Amino acid sequence: MKKRLDSNFKNMVLASCVITLFSALSVAGINALTAERLDKVRLQNQLAAIRDVLPPFDNNPMEECDTLRTANEEVLVLFPASLEGERVGTAVKTFSNEGYSGRILLMVGFTTDGAIYNYTVLEHKETPGLGSKMNVWFAGGNKGDVTGKIPGSKGLRVSKDGGEIDAITAATVSSRAFLSAVNRASRALNGNVDATSGATGIETDAASGATSVEEEAASSATSVETDATSGATSVKTEAAPDTTKVATDATSGATSVEKSLPVKR
């Protein structure tokens, strides 16, 4: 009886091990097939995004791409495009971590003179109906159109920061983040990925200016308050001696009058 129980237990353990191994291999196989398919779809989408932001080309930009890394190990990828052996532009996969709800990923296409040809938003978490309008707001013919513009060393800025780009209505933060990503892509064309963006610089200057104004206002208010207090104290101090003097003079006068009165006998 004991031998039979031992035998059944061993068979159960063996069966469990076989089932577990089979399940693990099945899951691993499915994951491998799924990952491969997802990678293929991702590459197809990336190629479609490159085609959307550049003039026609006949090479495979993904085979000739160049990767740049920032000091924080953030990655930008440059995809050069050519037609019949002649360069027609470069698509740059760029980013900004300054969005209202976090990271923004863009694909921005530039012509050979550094002008923006087109762009597409790859990823964002901005507010629907507000920041999410960046998908079309900055496209050709729309209110915040950036196509044809050359960011250059100064970068593009929203009009609120002294620039020429109309920000998305009620979504200035998202607009600044978008332009920050575009400016970073433009600088990447020259291999410079860590320079401070123009939009960020304006925000810093504006904040500094506001702080300075607030400090000056507070200082002025304190000065006025101090002067007012000092003046009031001075008035009280000056008034006090006069009052004392009057009282003293009055007492002195009364005494003098009493002394001058005749004494009745």
Mean per-residue pLDDT over the chain, rounded? 77
What confidence tens digit (pLDDT) does each residue in 20-58 have?
777 777 676 676 667 777 778 888 999 999 999 999 999
Distances (CA, A) of 65 to 59, 61, 209, 258: 11, 6, 42, 115
Nearest to 94 by CA among 204, 200, 201, 192: 192
What confidence tens digit (pLDDT) does each residue in 145-162 have?
999 999 988 999 999 999
Contact (Cβ atoms closer than 8 angstroms) between residue 119 and residue 53: yes
Site of tokens 């953030």: 74
pLDDT (0 to 100) of residue 114: 96
Q: Is 101 exposed, middle or buried (0-12, 13-18, 19+ CB in 10 A)?
A: middle
Domain residue ranges of the chain, discontinuous segments joined by +: 61-208
> Rounded to the nearest 5°, which phi and psi values hold at 68?
-115, 145
What confidence tens digit (pLDDT) does each residue in 186-219 have?
999 988 876 544 443 333 333 333 333 333 333 3
What confidence tens digit (pLDDT) does each residue in 63-75 have?
999 999 998 889 9
Query: In the predicted model, what is the mean pLDDT of residues 71-91?
Result: 95
Nearest to 53 by CA among 126, 164, 140, 134: 140
User: What gap in Å lies between CA 175 and CA 168, rounded to an integer?
Assistant: 6
